Amino acid sequence: MAFLKKRGKSWYVYWRQDGKKLGKSLGTTSKTVARQYLKGFEYKLATWQLGQTTDMSLDQLRDEYLSYSKATKKQSTYERHDAPRVKRFVDRMKEQGVEKVSGITVRRLQQYQQHLLEDLAPVTVRHSMYALRFAVERGYAESNPVRKVKKPKAAKNPPRYLSFEEWEKVRAIAEETELWPLVATAYYTGFRNSELRYLRWEEIDFERSLITLGNKEGFSVKNRESRTVPLNDDLKDTLMPLRKRRGFCFLNRKGEQFGATELTRQFKKLIATPSRLPHFTLHTLRHTFASHLVMRGVSIYKVSRWLGHKSVNTTMIYAHLAPRDDEINAL
């Protein structure tokens, strides 16, 4: 029998084995995630104690993994990443005659990876087989054959961002549409699609000129840590006339919260397509926010904090845009 206990901010799992009390950190502050782990761990512990191994069907693996994903991850992550990737993997294995987890070999994974590379980018392929680690953690497989498959190298291209001239063109187009307040917020804050959709008026402090994006029902900030971004003066002027006491800041024509794909479609229809700019999406404005700040001499550390990056190393993709540092000539 295993049980959970919270120590500090993290959850731990404890159990008895061979008369000894053992425990380990789960590395999470979420009780929901900890409970999900406990279910699988108790089953795994039972198989150890009985000296048994369990060979799960791929259909069972798919259903249990997706149930876990839906309960512990953001809805957008479940719908856009986990569900299609796991279903695609299971369907392909079954086409090859594999019905059980034990039938997944290194050779079959190599073939599957090559199959994906025909249509998908390497960076997408690298994240398409992680359900097998879940099978190992739950005691359904003794080892993870994915570890023996060499991952395809993903090219590290610089992010697409708008030049100052391109931004002025986009701004002129956006100002003539109902999406302008949202587009302005995207440019002046660097918020992601989901962050824009879930931004609430209560989170904008017009008096102190701050926006504090926090976790709320149905939404959690990436890395689950709230962050504060200064409220740009131009953005303040745009949002002030629309200010309300509470509720979502940006609504569709029906007065309802935007859906993820709905906002993407509207942005493409009203902004991206009329601009005729290549490779331009709503997310491009996040890269533009960071790039323009760095190009104008703002500290990379401040930009990293405003973007919500867990490590400044992630933000270093914009470092080459910083103005020339003439202090080297002091030598």
What is the CB neighbour count within 10 angstroms for residue 29?
13
pLDDT at 19: 66
What separation in angstroms does the CA of 213 have from each of 3, 80, 196, 248, 280? 34, 23, 10, 12, 25
pLDDT at 17: 62
Distance of CA 117 to the CA centre of its chain: 22
pLDDT at 51: 43
Torsion of the alpha carbons at 36, 38, 43 and 45, rounded to the nearest 10: 150
pLDDT at 45: 63
pLDDT at 255: 92
pLDDT in tens, the chain (331 residues): 677 888 887 888 887 766 677 777 877 788 887 787 777 776 666 655 444 445 678 888 888 888 878 776 777 778 878 888 888 888 988 998 988 888 888 888 888 888 888 877 777 777 776 667 777 766 667 677 888 888 877 666 788 999 999 999 999 999 999 999 999 999 999 999 989 999 999 999 999 999 999 888 777 787 778 899 999 999 999 999 999 999 999 999 999 999 878 999 999 999 999 999 999 999 999 999 999 999 999 999 999 999 999 889 889 989 888 887 676 666 6
In angstroms and rounded to an integer, the radius of gyration of the C-alpha atoms of the chain is 24
Question: Are residues 323 and 295 in contact, defined by beta-carbon separation less than 8 angstroms?
Answer: yes
Convert 139-180 into a string of H (helix), E (strand) and C (coil): CCCCCCHHHHCCCCCCCCCCCCCCCHHHHHHHHHHHCCCCCH
> What gap in Å lies between CA 153 and CA 151, rounded to an integer?
6
Contacts of 40 (CB under 8 A, 6+ apart): 137, 138, 139
> What gap in Å lies between CA 288 and CA 159, rounded to an integer?
9
Stretch (H or E) spanning 312: helix 312-315
Sign of torsion over alpha carbons 271, 155, 222, 167: negative
